[in-house]
Amino acid sequence: MGDRMGSWTGIRTRRLLGAAAAAVALVGGAAACATGPAPAAGAAEAAAAAPAPLDTTCTNLLKIDAVPPPAGDPGTSDPAAVRAWAGQILPLLDSAVATAPPDLRPTLTALQGVLQSAATTGTAAPADAPVVAQSVNEYETWAYEHCGYQQVQVTATEYRLDGVPATLRPGPTAVRLVNRSTANLYHAVLIVRPKDQAVTVAQVLTTPPELLAQQVDVVPGAATAGPGEQGGMLVDLPAGRYLVLCPLGNGEGPPHLMRGMVAEVSVS
């Protein structure tokens, strides 16, 4: 499942996994009270046609989370694959920086430096490096709070995922994962679409992870969080039936999803 996760968060989740396998209208600025003469009709039409900066920033952040990461750990991935990965993200990130509000711009600028280095050297910084982990968490938190996407907050404890809604609307969705583990466990959230749309949660709980990976399509993106922390992801969901699950394990025993950390959601 890991090879098709989203960009930064996909790399971070894959490192933790090891060898184991429409939207609400985007938020715009409040209209200011005008005291001068009304703009000419042509100017008003041009302003209406131009994309709002916040819209552009949100759209590019959504696209960044959907870029598949290079195969394998960033430290050992093929340099050409890393350069290609960075080359896909950089134009999106540059556009997001150009339209980002002042409170978000430093976060995205920090990631620009990381991507520019990866594009030049063919080596990506580890996704758990402080500048990457902090910056990704900051922009996903910002997007959750400002982009106007439908919101889903999932709380992970010991082998439970709470807050997964039964239904969602198709379109851009901001997911926040809050890890309230009292056993010092990392948790993650993936959204997968079963190829057999009739498969049940009960069947998933008894399906070996290696086989399950062949039976689902993974939605690009992943959220990870350490104990007492939170993570996020941005996804664009078409209509269908999905499973929300935690693919991580403790190093012993079955992965968390087989212990009950899986829930169903219908997007329609």
Task: Report all structural domains of the chain as residue ranges with CATH numbers, in order of start.
Answer: 2-23+54-267 (2.60.40.420)
CB 154, CB 178: distance < 8 Å: yes
Q: What is the C-alpha separation between 98 and 101, in angstroms, rounded?
A: 9
Distant-in-sequence, close-in-space partners of 30: CB < 8 Å, separation ≥ 6:
none
Stretch (H or E) spanning 164: none
Q: Which of 264, 242, 263, 246 is nearest to 255 (CA)?
A: 246
pLDDT, position 14? 43
Distances 238 to 21, 80, 92, 142, 171 between C-alpha atoms, Å: 25, 32, 22, 23, 6
Across the strands, what pairs with 225?
Answer: 187
According to DSSP, residue 251 is labeled S
CB 131, CB 8: distance < 8 Å: no
CB 65, CB 96: distance < 8 Å: no
Question: Between vectors from CA 230 to CA 225 and to CA 233, what angle results, nearest 5°?
Answer: 85
Q: What is the C-alpha separation between 222 and 260, in angstroms, rounded?
A: 18
Sign for the CA dihedral angle at 105, 132, 135, 28 comes to positive
Q: What is the C-alpha separation between 130 and 168, in angstroms, rounded?
A: 33
Q: What is the C-alpha separation between 5 and 214, in angstroms, rounded?
A: 14
Question: pLDDT digit of tens for each residue in the chain (268 aa)?
Answer: 444 445 444 444 443 333 233 211 111 222 222 223 333 334 333 333 334 578 999 999 999 998 887 765 555 568 898 899 899 999 999 999 999 999 999 999 999 999 999 899 988 877 667 888 889 889 999 999 999 999 999 999 999 999 999 999 999 999 999 999 999 999 999 999 999 999 999 999 999 888 988 999 989 888 989 999 999 999 999 999 999 999 888 777 788 999 999 999 999 9
CB 257, CB 42: distance < 8 Å: no
Neighbour tally for 13: CB within 10 Å: 28
pLDDT, position 49? 39
Q: What amino acid is encoded at 139 in this protein?
A: Y
CB 163, CB 152: distance < 8 Å: yes
Q: What amino acid is encoded at 67 in this protein?
A: V
CB 211, CB 118: distance < 8 Å: no
Q: What is the C-alpha separation between 120 and 240, in angstroms, rounded?
A: 40
Q: Token pair 């600025």 is at which residue?
A: 29
According to DSSP, residue 257 is labeled G
pLDDT, position 73? 53
